Chains A and B, each alone.
Chain A
Amino acid sequence: MDNQFLVTSSPHVRSEFRIERIMLDVVIALIPALIAGTIFFGIRALMLTIISVATAVLTEYVIEVLTHKEITIDDFSAVVTGMLVAFNVPPTVPWWIPAVGSFFAIAIVKMCFGGIGNNFVNPALAARAFLLASWPVQMTTWTTPGAVDGVSSATPLAILKGSEAVGAQLPSLWSMFVGNIGGTIGETSALALLIGAAYLLYRRVINLRIPLSFIITVGVITWIFGPNGLFTGQFMYHILGGGLILGAFFMATDYPTSPVTPLGQIIMGIGCGLLTSVIRLWGGYPEGVSYSILIMNMVTPLIDRYTMPKVFGTGEVKKVA
């Protein structure tokens, strides 16, 4: 018997969790929403997503080659970022908008801070904010599904806010749930997003702390502060409309930019919910999900610091019976 044994530190077995598998799961979970977006907005939605993903992956690869860093595109996180950037733009934008967005997300937000795990805000959302500030017209031109060429329309939240032409009709809740409404490529179908979210929960990629506290907070606040006095809000429209489902399950849960402590995750969700509601009800935008997540991203280190879990055995000592 020879003595060629490997000597390492314990433990000697590992779980099946691998970061590349987790990121692949996120990609898989986003596919129903991509299919829904393609059905409602046409093949253009799919093309924009492909352009966005390709730009994201290529940008990461080129930067890593140029800076002589380890190539990390095999962890699929750039694919996820690319998909999320595309999901956050309207289906009518010119093709270069998601490309610029993905380049910005990877080159500026992710790589400048040292790659995965070090960026302090969600790259896709930072890209959305950047695009919105730079090309406001293109980024807020909405169409109703099936009418991509030209006819612009209002999103349900804009109608709710009354900032669009008088007479615009709110779509039925069912249309909103299925996704037959105006909006960005990825946020249109709550149903498709929830299917993906269920998959992520089943695979234990995410837990419910952030999404649930986020959605419940938005629901409660928008219900209480309704347009016709207290407790008259159409909270279901707020939950199903806009990017809430997409944001709550797929972006607020982004690992590097959300808290790691259980309590911190709930605070993150509630914080996002409060900010979203405030922006939607009293702010200048009909939307609010992206900005609130970005703001909470920035206080994440602080939340982690102040929500350290109570270490086993540091509480009150239970007296011997």
Chain B
Amino acid sequence: MPDTTSAAEPSLSADTEGEHDDAAGFYTPGEPIADAKAPGGPVADRWATRKFESRLVNPANRRKLSIIIVGTGLAGASAAATLGEAGYRVKSFCYQDSPRRAHSIAAQGGINAAKNYKEDGDSTHRLFYDTVKGGDYRSRESNVYRLAEVSVNIIDQCVAQGVPFAREYGGLLDNRSFGGVQVSRTFYARGQTGQQLLIGAYQALERQVAAGTVSCYTRHEMVELIVVDGEDGPRARGIVARDMVTGEIETHTADVVVLASGGYGNVFYLSTNAMGCNVTATWRAHRKGAYMANPCYTQIHPTCIPVSGSHQSKLTLMSESLRNDGRIWVPKSKADCEKDPREIPEEARDYYLERIYPSFGNLVPRDIASRAAKNVCDEGRGVGPEVDGVRRGVYLDFTAAIERMGKDGIEEKYDNLFDMYERITGENPYEMPMRIYPAVHYVMGGLWVDYDLQASIPGLFVTGEANFSDHGANRLGASALMQGLADGYFVLPHTIRDYLADGPFEPVADDHPAVVEARESVQSRIDHFLNNAGTRSVDSYHRELGNIMWEFCGMERTEDGLKKAIDLIRTLKDDFWRNVKVLGTADSLNQSLEKAGRVADFFELGELMCIDALNRRESCGGHFRGESQTEDGEALRHDDQYAYVAAWEFAGDDQPPVLHKEDLVYTAIEMKQRSYK
């Protein structure tokens, strides 16, 4: 994908309609966040400064210190392996049957690193610059710089672990360019980079299991955070987990808790995320005092296989590299939508991206391509099967490319993607244009963390997709994997050390009031679900919630739509608590019960996402507010009003959340408007 930023226009004009507070009444203003604790000085020196300042823990004392890590994806597994090696006592949790199955495994495209192996002008600074710009200037400069800085070490580490990255004939690593940048800095292992990186981290983790420093609790779901109030204020000291096989409610306490529990894109029900991805771990922490930042930032990926029917459980992503050769179109006339596309003549086709964005054409960035596809389908010109009365699909046509490169050329370049498409749809894409549609893919929002990756509750650290810090309003391709591993291998081990230097903390007894309260709240939720004499399945609620979120808090949001969504969510949530039906027992493997807890949390998150979206009356990255667009329909940011992180504090059930703003300050980079025309 090409560079998407024009060079001019340093700052933007204010909204001509003046100040707005669309979310007034839905929240309470709170104190601003003054300090995210990054060291001062030039951006390039900050991480070195912090590492030096971070206090040391003597190796003999590390055995006495305990760490809970929830999540075994790239962020969690890499942290557990590294902290285990260092000699701390680590407990690692995941809900799957093995740490190796965390959702990171599904990442296809690759991982970025500023190695400059191609001598094409890449550098730490350029990776930093591209990432901040790609995030539409809504990420934190200090964090992103650090990410770019440690990216090079990630590749070294993974290669040493045996990750089989693509190689050139001379035996050196190959890389390619990907996702909105002009340098080749993406390392990849065919279409399975996430899998290979995760297997590397998982193997390092299992090595520590054998060494006795890490214990794995698989098929264990964290269902509550334990926060203990001490003389010096509250601290995160443990979790309540449900053994998903026996149903036993267990408490685990430690000196520090790390959440690496991934993203919450499944609030939309249909997404490219794994089925089990959920918000429970971070939402429970949010309810206990951890701020949730920028929850409305959702990345929607334009090249997914469309929905085929109402039975559909998930969506499958196809690499966006397909847009390099495929041409995207729909019929000009609604009347042609049911026809065989091969019978629709050239002049009856609307190559809408090429028409609207002549200079970028089919290669416009993810958010633009997604929104344009939605618009043509909403107009009634979508193709493919009709689901709930609308055809949601556009053609991705390789006919011209096949004529140009031959079928063999296409096969060599895209073979496995074409096969995958045929397996899922039953259509042969060599003969029939593919159909694609946008789908929810990744969330840039997450728990608020400071420069040390510590949440607003001391002793709670958050890494990977579960935190909010590095991607701003839009994530560039191949940088989530980079962030997960940077956090786990190279950042957290230094910052958590400084926290642990004050430990070991006083042990927390099983009958401590905070532990008892946490267990009891878990128990009462479970009892409620199992004793509720309802009539509707959990999945049916999740599906309905997902529809509301997609319709009103998806690719385009408006004030009216979001207000309506909040209403609908509240009504549905009410009905869920009164009318959900969960069969089976508490003391056994009970998948409906697991889902019920997750969907309950999705309801609360969904509402907060809408409030956050309502508050942000600007369009930036994955957040497009209908009220904030240029004359020709492009996203319009308002740096003068919204160059802040929205960090939400939970104020109690049925209380409006409290909004804390953290101003985004750029010292090493200048804010610019993006332009694609």
Q: Do A and B come from one complex?
A: no
B residues in contact (CB < 8 Å) with A: none
